[in-house]
Copies of this chain bind each other. A is one copy, B any other.
Amino acid sequence: MIKYPNGGPSIKTDRSNKNKTSNRTNLGMNLEKDVEISSKYFIDHNQAIFYKKPTPIHVYKVSHDNSHQITEAYYDKKSTTDYNGLYREKYIDFECKETKTKTLPIDRLSKHQVEHLYRVKRLGGIAFFLVRFNTLDETYIFDIDHVIDFIKLNDKQSFSYNDIKTKGYLVTKSYSPRLELLKGLDEAYFSDEDKQEEDY
């Protein structure tokens, strides 16, 4: 059984049917699959680019016969966020998190990821966790600033569904794109701009 340090492999071939038996491997996989399929739609329609960052892998040995063949390597635990990209001229960076309960434990958000997203936000990018409540099949854009405020102001160990629903933005599902991520981003980050444009 394959266990990955960050809840799931990031390389397409890892997500083969072979892994379907492993619950651990599939943690976070449904959301990521939806994001990937939606990203393809957005690229094909020239609307946005979102990239899955591959999990960094340390290569130790390559084959003598074929320099493309790696014979010993290790997953690096210290990866940053899942995705970055470009939408409406802005740099976007986010991390997918799924939960089967109605809470999201803070320790599911690594310090490394929180710091990275905070840095992105400070430099003028858009940075958030994309949180899915599996049992409700609801997905939210939850801005890094809310995460940081929450950690500063609370001594709770988890975000509740209400915390995220109240401060976050619902990303609706549809047939194509599967996740209406751009509509969610419009609402979360561009609604003032859109309003101004309408006023003209």
Contact = CB atoms under 8 A, between A and B. Distances in A.
Interface of A: 1-5, 9, 11-16, 18-19, 22, 24-25, 43, 46, 48-49, 51, 53-62, 67-78, 80, 84-93, 119-120, 122-125
A32 to B, nearest CB: 15
A91 to B, nearest CB: 4
A86 B120 contact: yes
Nearest to A16: B59
Protomer copies: 2
Query: From DSSP, what is the main secondary structure of chain A's interface residues?
Result: mixed
B3 A60 contact: no
Contacts of A19: 59, 62
18 contacts: A5-B68, A14-B59, A16-B58, A18-B59, A19-B62, A25-B67, A49-B119, A49-B125, A54-B56, A57-B57, A57-B70, A68-B75, A69-B74, A71-B72, A84-B84, A86-B125, A89-B123, A90-B91
